[in-house]
């Protein structure tokens, strides 16, 4: 099951050229770009690992692409995403975030139903990948 | 390059270099260079050559000849105050207009910005600078400080290796300009042959002649809306002769500082008059403002005696 998180999530995966253009857009808005990776695909997992520090004062996408390539090479079986942070007062938040790399095989999620009092049903999403310990997920 | 079979040139096709030239808007930039920068004839000629080469490369590409990305890395050598940084800034503009760099900004760094203070600190630091310079020009001032032959554990070598790698593999992402004094740069290149072979253009900046320094002051004065009186011009001529004899003479930079100090002296003189002064007084630098310099206090070395 293909993971859909962040901007462009329902589009086919972006090519490197398209990713470059999105980075150019973010740089044009003076947003700082950061790269993160994880092997825990749960949608509520907001704590992805940082790949180096967020990059400030860049002028060109080539620098970010270089880091994306390095991160992909180091973590071929993990998710990699780019975050664009807007430091403008009043925003001070991530304005753009999209996945730029995903594992070859994504097993998807299991829906767990828990029966609660009065036959109420409570639902939980469980990623099959997280059955294995970190580092050994996704092959 | 080594291909024996030449590409069949589309001979019928023609390309209008003049149109390409006009399109790149490089003409005004070169004209500006001619007008704004006094002297530096060999440098200007070299820049024209580089600009022409880049233009022809563009034209060749449009007609389908492969020419490979040209190596654009440069070394600027010359004494202090001969305009290396100023020209580097212009160079970023020229390369940008011709489409050889994407953004056209100049990132000026020295050893401190590239080399770290402990093991493992240098590589991230250098890479960070390189990332920031991508799409533009990386200007390394006094580049020879990167190499410290007396200390073989110096982290400068690590920075040099990363630089060389990027200069080779990402030629279309950034252009590196190294700058420094002639003799020390020569020694630097001798001990780092990798650098010499990766730099296509070695440009030497000659010292300014006395007359050129004088016209630099006049340009500065004009920009700052000052007028130099005839007597003051004579005084400046003497000043330049004197200043040249003294240590730490930094060409245009020394002269600019002298001009700034003469403005201070002019202001003091006007305040001491205290009475009504005319607009003309406000904009005129008099001989006294120049002659008040401490440069005149120290006599010329023995030769005049």
CB atoms within 10 A of CB A116: 9
Average pLDDT over residues A91-112: 94
Comparison of pLDDT for B150 and A68, the residue scoring more: A68
- The predicted model gives B190-206 an average pLDDT of 88
How close, in Å, is residue B118 to chain A by CA atoms? 18
Q: Does B124 touch chain A (CB under 8 A)?
A: yes
Confidence of residue B1 (pLDDT cuts 50, 70, 90): very low
Tell me the pLDDT tens digit for each residue of B34-93.
888 888 888 888 888 888 888 888 888 888 887 777 788 999 999 988 989 888 888 888
* Greater pLDDT, B299 or B294: B294
Judging contacts by C-beta atoms under 8 Å, the chain B residues touching residue A52 are: 124
B265 touches chain A (CB under 8 A): no
pLDDT per position as a tens digit, B258-285: 999 999 999 999 998 877 888 888 888 8
Q: What is the pLDDT of residue B305?
A: 38
Chain B residue closest in CA terms to A57 = B132
* Residue at token pair 């609660």: A116
A52, A58, A61 member nearest B132 (Cβ): A58
List pLDDT tens digits, range B4-51.
555 555 566 777 878 777 777 778 878 888 888 888 888 888 888 888
Q: Which residues of A touch B103 (CB under 8 A)?
A: 59-60
B173–A58 C-beta distance less than 8 A: no
- List alpha helices for B63-147, DSSP H: 84-97, 111-114, 122-133
Query: Which of B127, B105, B102, B132 is closest to B116 using CA atoms?
Result: B127
Helices (H) then strands (E): counts for chain B: 14, 7
pTM for the model stands at 0.81
Quick one: tokens of B30?
A: 């070169």
d(CA A57, CA A63): 11
pLDDT averaged over every residue in chain A: 93
Chain mean pLDDT for chain B: 85
Of B128, B132, B170, nearest to A59 by CB-CB distance is B132
B59 Cα to chain A: minimum distance (Å):
25
As a whole number, mean pLDDT of residues B110-117 equals: 92
Which pLDDT tens digit goes with each residue over B231-251? Answer: 999 999 999 988 888 888 889
Query: Could you read off the pLDDT of A2-45 as tens digits, one per residue?
Result: 999 999 999 999 999 999 999 999 999 999 999 999 999 999 99
- The ipTM assigned to this model is 0.78
| Contact status, residue B158 vs residue B122, Cβ threshold 8 Å | yes
What's the whole-number mean pLDDT along residues A39-63?
92
The CA-based dihedral angle spanning residues B224, B226, B227, B231, taken in that order and rounded to the nearest 10 degrees: -110
SS3 at position A25: helix
């Amino acid at each position: 099951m293909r993971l859909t998180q962040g901007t462009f999530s329902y589009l086919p995966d972006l090519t490197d050229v398209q990713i470059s253009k999105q980075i150019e857009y973010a740089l044009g808005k003076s947003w700082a770009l950061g790269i993160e990776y994880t092997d825990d695909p749960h949608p509520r997992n907001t704590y992805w690992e940082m790949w180096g520090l967020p990059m400030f004062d860049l002028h060109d996408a080539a620098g970010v692409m270089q880091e994306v390539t390095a991160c992909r090479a180091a973590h071929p079986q993990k998710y990699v995403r780019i975050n664009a942070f807007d430091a403008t007062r009043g925003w001070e938040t991530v304005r753009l975030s999209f996945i730029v790399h995903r594992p070859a095989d994504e097993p998807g999620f299991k829906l767990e139903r828990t029966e609660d009092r009065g036959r109420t049903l409570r639902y939980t999403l469980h990623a099959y990948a997280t059955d294995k310990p970190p580092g050994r997920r996704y092959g | 390059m080594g291909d024996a079979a030449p590409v069949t040139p589309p001979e019928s096709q023609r390309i209008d270099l003049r149109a390409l030239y006009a399109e790149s808007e490089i003409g005004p930039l070169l004209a500006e260079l001619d007008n704004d920068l006094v002297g530096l004839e060999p440098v200007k000629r070299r820049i024209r050559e580089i600009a022409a080469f880049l233009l022809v490369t563009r034209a060749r590409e449009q007609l389908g000849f492969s020419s490979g990305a040209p190596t654009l890395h440069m070394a600027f050598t010359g004494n202090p105050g001969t305009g290396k940084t100023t020209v580097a800034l212009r160079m970023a503009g020229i390369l940008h207009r011709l489409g050889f760099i994407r953004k056209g900004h100049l990132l000026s760094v020295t050893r401190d910005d590239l080399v770290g203070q402990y093991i493992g600190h240098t590589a991230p630091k250098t890479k960070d600078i390189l990332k920031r310079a991508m799409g533009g020009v990386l200007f390394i001032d006094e580049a020879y400080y990167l190499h410290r032959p007396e200390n073989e554990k110096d982290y400068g070598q690590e920075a040099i290796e990363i630089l060389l790698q990027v200069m080779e593999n990402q030629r279309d992402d950034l252009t590196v300009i190294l700058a420094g004094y002639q003799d020390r740069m020569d020694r630097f290149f001798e001990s780092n042959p990798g650098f010499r072979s990766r730099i296509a253009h070695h440009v030497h900046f000659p010292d300014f002649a006395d007359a050129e320094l004088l016209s630099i002051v006049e340009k500065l004065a004009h920009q700052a809306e000052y007028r130099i009186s005839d007597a003051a011009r004579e005084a400046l001529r003497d000043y330049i002769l004197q200043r040249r004899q003294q240590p730490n003479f930094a060409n245009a930079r020394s002269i600019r500082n002298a001009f700034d100090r003469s403005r201070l002296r002019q202001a003091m003189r006007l305040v001491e008059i205290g009475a009504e002064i005319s607009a003309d007084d406000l904009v005129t630098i008099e001989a006294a403002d120049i002659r008040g310099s401490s440069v005149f206090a120290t006599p010329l070395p023995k030769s005049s005696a």
